[in-house]
Chain A
Amino acid sequence: MLLEVENLSVWYDKAMLINHLSMGVDTGELVSLVGPNGAGKSTLLRAITGLVSWEREITRRSAHGDIILEGKVTFDRERIDQIPAHEIAKRGLIHCPERRRPFREMTVLDNLMAGAYLLKDRNEIRNNLSKVYQLFPILKDRSNQISGTLSGGEQQMLAIGRALMSKPKLLCIDEPSTGLAPLLRAEVFQKIRGVHQLGITVLLVEQEVGIVFQMATRNYVLSSGRIIAQGPGDQLLQDEVLRKTYLGL
C-alpha cells in the first residue's frame, strides 16, 4: 500500500470527527471517498496530509480548544502522522484543498511556481510546467492573470495544476466540483481522469457519487467518521440501503 491509515481517530474538542478509521490507497489507483456532509471526508484528508496536526499546534498555542489525533498513517512505508505538513508534502503526498484556495493576489504562473517550491532543478520545473499547460491549456493563456479574477472552474484547474507541479506520488483532491456549473464539473472530472492517466495515484473526495463511481477503481463510503462500505462502484450501487441512506441516489 502506498498510503495506509490504521485506526485513526480525530477529536475537535469533544466531537469525534474520525472514529477508529482504517483505509488505504495502492499505487496507481484512483480511490474515491464519498459520503454525506459532515461525514469527516475533509477531516480525514486533512489528518492524512498533516493539516490537522498543524492546526493542533496552532490551537495549542492560542489556547483555544483542543485537537487530538490518534492512530497511524504510513506513506511509502514511512510513518507520517508525527511529521509536519510541509515535510509530508516533501515526500510526494500533495493535497489540493477544498474551495480551491489559489493564492488569490498572485498570478497564475506564480501560483504554479509556488506549487513547484519543493523542486530545485530548473529543467524539471520547466518540464512539469509544460505538462501542466498541456493538461490545462487555459492556464497557459491566463498565465499572467491574477488568479483571484479567474472563474471558479479555472481556479479549480489552477488548484489541481499547482498541486501537480511538484509531481506528486499521491494527489488528494478535496471536492473539486463544489460550486461549479454541471458542464464545468464534467470537465473537471475529465481532467482528473487525465491526471490519473499520467500515472499519478489519486485520492478523490467528492459528493458527486454518480460520476465518481464510474471513474474510481475503488470507493470508500464514509459516515460519522467511519467507513461503512467499500468496493467498486457497481457493487456499492447494488446495496439498496446504502444507496438510499448514504448516497442519496
Chain B
Amino acid sequence: MSLLIDILISGLISGSMLALLAIGFSLIFGVARIVNIAHTAFYMVAAYCIYFVTARLTIHPLWAMGIAVILVTGLGMISYQIFINPIREHHGAVLIATIALAMAFQEVMSLMFTGTFLSVPSLVKGYLIVLGVKVFYQQLITFCVALFAIGALWFFLMRTKLGLAIRSTSQDREVANLMGINESRVALITMGVSVGLAAFTGAMVVPLTVLEPHMWTHPLIMMMAVVVLGGLGSLKGSFLGAYILGFAEALVVFLAPMGAFLKGSVALSIMILVLLIRPEGLFGIAFEEER
C-alpha cells in the first residue's frame, strides 16, 4: 500500500514536471518548427539562478523564483533573436545551434558554480503522513503549482487573442499571415512562453533535486520521449505522454529489482518502441507540406 502511494506521488510529480517541459517544447516546435535542444538547459539555468539568488544573495526563495523566471525568459528571447531567428528556416542548423547553446550554458554554469552538487532549501518544511508514507509539503506544493500552471497555459492558449494567434500560426503560418498575424513576432513571443515554462519548471523542481551542470540531460531525454510518445507538436499528447512516462519511470524505480539504475533506460525504451510501432505518436499530426 505504501509502495503504491510512493509510486503515485513520484509519478504525479515527475509527470507534472515533464508535462510543463514537454508542452513548452511542443509549443515552439509547433509555431516555428524549432527543435529546441537547449530547452532543458534553460531549466537548468533557472535552477542555478535560484540557487545564486537564495544562497549567495540571501533573498527569499519566492522572490528568487520570480527573478529566475523573468531573467531566463529574457535570456531565451535574446538567444532566439541572436542565434536562432537568423537561421530559423534551416532546420538542421537550428538543431546544431540549440545543441551548442545548451553546451555553452552547461559550461558557463560549471565555470561559475563548479561541478559540485548544490541544493536549495524547500520553501515549506515538514511533511504529512498519508497511509504511512511521508509526503513532503514541498512535493504537494510543486504538484499543485504545476497543475495550476498547466491550467493557466490552457486558458492563455484557448481563451486569449494571443493564444489564438499562436494556435493559428502553429496550424498554418502562411495563412496566419493572411489574417494579419505577425508570424515572426508570434514566434518570438512563443519562444518567451516556452522558455518561461522551462524556467518555471526549473524553479519548481529546484528544492526537490540537486543542482549540477549536467542536470539538463536527463530531463531532455525524458522530454523527448514524452514528445515522441504524445506526437510531435501536439499539446494534448505532451500532457498525457508526460504522465504516462512519469508513472512508467516511477513503476520501474519502485518495482523492478535495482530499478533506480534502470531509470535512464525507461524513456529510451519507450521512445524506441513508439518509433517502431506508431511513429506519429498518440496524437501525432501528419504535417501538411508547406509551400
Give A residues with C-beta under 8 Å from B.
Answer: 49-51, 54-55, 58-59, 61-63, 84-86, 89-90, 94-97, 101, 103-106, 110, 113-115, 117-118, 162-163, 166
A96 to B285, CA, bound (A): 24
**Which of chain B's residues 152-172 have a Cβ closer than 8 Å to chain A?**
161, 164-165, 167-168, 171-172
Across the interface, B177 reaches (CB within 8 A) one of A50, A59, A61, A113, namely A50
Across the interface, B179 reaches (CB within 8 A) one of A59, A61, A114, namely A114
Q: Which candidate, B8-16, B41-49, B81-89, is the interface stretch facing chain A?
A: B81-89
Across the interface, B175 reaches (CB within 8 A) one of A50, A62, A103, namely A103
Give B residues with C-beta under 8 Å from A.
Answer: 86-90, 161, 164-165, 167-168, 171-172, 174-183, 285, 288, 291
- By beta carbon, the residue of chain A nearest B288 is A104
Chain A nearest CB, measured from B107 CB (Å): 28
A-B contact pairs, 19 of them (CB 8 A): A51-B174, A51-B178, A55-B291, A59-B89, A61-B89, A63-B90, A85-B178, A86-B179, A86-B180, A89-B179, A89-B180, A97-B175, A97-B178, A104-B171, A106-B171, A110-B164, A114-B168, A117-B161, A166-B179
B177 touches A54 (CB 8 A): yes
Say whether, besides A61-B90, A103-B175, A90 and B168 are in contact (CB < 8 Å).
no
Chain B nearest CB, measured from A112 CB (Å): 10
Not counting A86-B177, A114-B168, a sample of 7 additional A-B residue pairs whose C-beta atoms are within 8 angstroms of each other reads A58-B89, A86-B180, A97-B174, A114-B164, A114-B179, A117-B161, A117-B180
B164 touches A95 (CB 8 A): no
Q: Which residues of B contact A85 (CB under 8 A)?
A: 177-178
- By beta carbon, the residue of chain A nearest B91 is A62
Chain B nearest CB, measured from A116 CB (Å): 8
- By beta carbon, the residue of chain B nearest A91 is B180
A59 to B291, CA, bound (A): 11
Chain B interface main SS type: helix
Sorted from nearest, which 7 A-B pairs have the closest CB atoms? A62-B89, A89-B180, A103-B171, A85-B177, A118-B180, A61-B89, A114-B168
Q: Which residues of A contact B90 (CB under 8 A)?
A: 61-63
Across the interface, B181 reaches (CB within 8 A) one of A49, A63, A110, A117, namely A117
A61 touches B87 (CB 8 A): yes
Q: Which residues of B contact A113 (CB under 8 A)?
A: 164
A103 to B179, CA, bound (A): 11
A173 to B114, CA, bound (A): 61
Q: Which residues of B contact A63 (CB under 8 A)?
A: 90
- By beta carbon, the residue of chain B nearest A50 is B177
Say whether, besides A61-B87, A61-B88, A110-B167, A103 and B181 are in contact (CB < 8 Å).
no
B177 touches A89 (CB 8 A): yes
A115 to B291, CA, bound (A): 21
Say whether, besides A51-B178, A63-B90, A114-B179, A105 and B172 are in contact (CB < 8 Å).
no
- By beta carbon, the residue of chain A nearest B161 is A117
Q: Which residues of A contact B164 (CB under 8 A)?
A: 110, 113-114, 117
A105 touches B178 (CB 8 A): no
A106 to B285, CA, bound (A): 13
A102 to B28, CA, bound (A): 21
Q: Which residues of B contact A117 (CB under 8 A)?
A: 161, 164-165, 168, 179-181
Q: Which residues of B contact A114 (CB under 8 A)?
A: 164-165, 167-168, 176, 179, 181
Q: Which residues of B contact A166 (CB under 8 A)?
A: 179-180
Say whether, besides A61-B88, A101-B172, A103-B168, A115 and B179 are in contact (CB < 8 Å).
yes
A59 to B180, CA, bound (A): 21
A50 to B177, CA, bound (A): 9
Q: Which residues of B contact A163 (CB under 8 A)?
A: 178
A49 to B178, CA, bound (A): 8
Chain A nearest CB, measured from B86 CB (Å): 7
Chain A nearest CB, measured from B176 CB (Å): 8
Chain A nearest CB, measured from B259 CB (Å): 38
Chain B nearest CB, measured from A19 CB (Å): 21
A94 touches B178 (CB 8 A): yes
Q: Which residues of A contact B285 (CB under 8 A)?
A: 105
A86 touches B168 (CB 8 A): no
Chain A nearest CB, measured from B90 CB (Å): 5
B181 touches A86 (CB 8 A): yes
A50 to B288, CA, bound (A): 21
Chain B nearest CB, measured from A119 CB (Å): 9
Chain B nearest CB, measured from A235 CB (Å): 33
